[in-house]
Amino acid sequence: MANRILVAGFAASLGFAAIPAIADDITLRIGSGHPPGVVYAGLMQSYFQPELKKRVEERTDHTINYVEGYSGSIVKVTEVLEGVQDGIIDIGGFCYCFEPSNLPLHAFQVMLPFGTMDPVTSLRVAQDVYAAVPHLQNVFEEKFNQKLLSRITDGGYNLGTSFEWETLDDLKNQKIAGAGLNLNWLEYAGVTPVQSSLATAYTELKTNVYEGWIMFPSAWVNLKLHEPAPYYTLIGFGSITWHGLTINLDTWNELPAEVQEIMLEVATDYEEETGTVNQVEYDKHIDTLKGIISVNEIDPAVRADWAQSLASWPQTMADELDGQGLPASEVLKLTLEAAEKHGYEWPVRYEIQ
Residues 114 and 295: their CA atoms lie apart, in Å, by 19
Helix (H, G, I), strand (E, B) or coil at 72: coil
Fill in the amino acid letter for 72: G
Cross-strand pairs, 247: 91, 147
Closest CA to 235 of 309, 312, 179: 309
Please report the DSSP string for 224-267 in residue order: -TTTT--EEEEEEEE--EEEEEEEEHHHHHHS-HHHHHHHHHHH
The answer, yes or no, to whether residue 242 has pLDDT greater than 70, is yes
Q: pLDDT tens-digit profile of 85-114?
A: 999 999 999 999 999 999 999 999 999 999
| pLDDT score recorded for residue 19 | 34
In this structure, what DSSP letter does residue 276 have?
H
Q: Indicate whether 13 pLDDT > 70.
A: no
CATH fold match for the domains 2-102+118-153+241-282 and 157-239+288-341: yes
- Determine which of 20-34, 182-196, 280-294, 295-309 has the lowest per-residue pLDDT on average: 20-34
Asked whether residue 173 carries a pLDDT value surpassing 90, the answer given is: no
Superfamily of domain 157-239+288-341: Bacterial extracellular solute-binding protein, family 7 (3.40.190.170)
pLDDT of residue 24: 87
Rounded CA gap, 94 and 99, in Å? 9
Among left, alpha and beta (phi > 0; psi -120 to 50; other), residue 71 is left
Parallel, antiparallel, or unpaired for β 241-248 and 91-95? antiparallel
Average pLDDT over residues 125-153: 98
For the chain, what is the mean pLDDT?
92
Which pLDDT belongs to residue 50? 98
Please report, for residues 33, 34, 115, the alpha-carbon distance to residue 77 in angstroms, rounded to integers and kept in the order given: 4, 6, 25
At residue 28, does pLDDT exceed 80? yes
Sorted by sequence, the CB contacts under 8 Å of residue 56 that are 6+ apart come out as: 26, 62, 63, 64, 259, 262, 263
Among residues of the chain, what percentage have pLDDT more than 70?
94
pLDDT surpasses 50 at 136: yes
Which residues are CB-neighbours of 197 under 8 A, at least 6 positions away? 33, 77, 78, 98, 179
- This prediction's pTM: 0.89
Q: How confident is the model at residue 2 (pLDDT cuts 50, 70, 90)?
A: very low
| Residue 339 pLDDT | 98
pLDDT tens string 58-72 = 999 999 999 999 999
Domain 2-102+118-153+241-282 has CATH 3.40.190.170: yes
Indicate the domain borders of the chain: 2-102+118-153+241-282, 157-239+288-341
Give the pLDDT confidence of 183-240 residue by residue, as tens digits.
999 999 899 999 998 889 999 999 999 999 999 999 999 999 999 999 999 999 999 9
pLDDT recorded at residue 1: 52
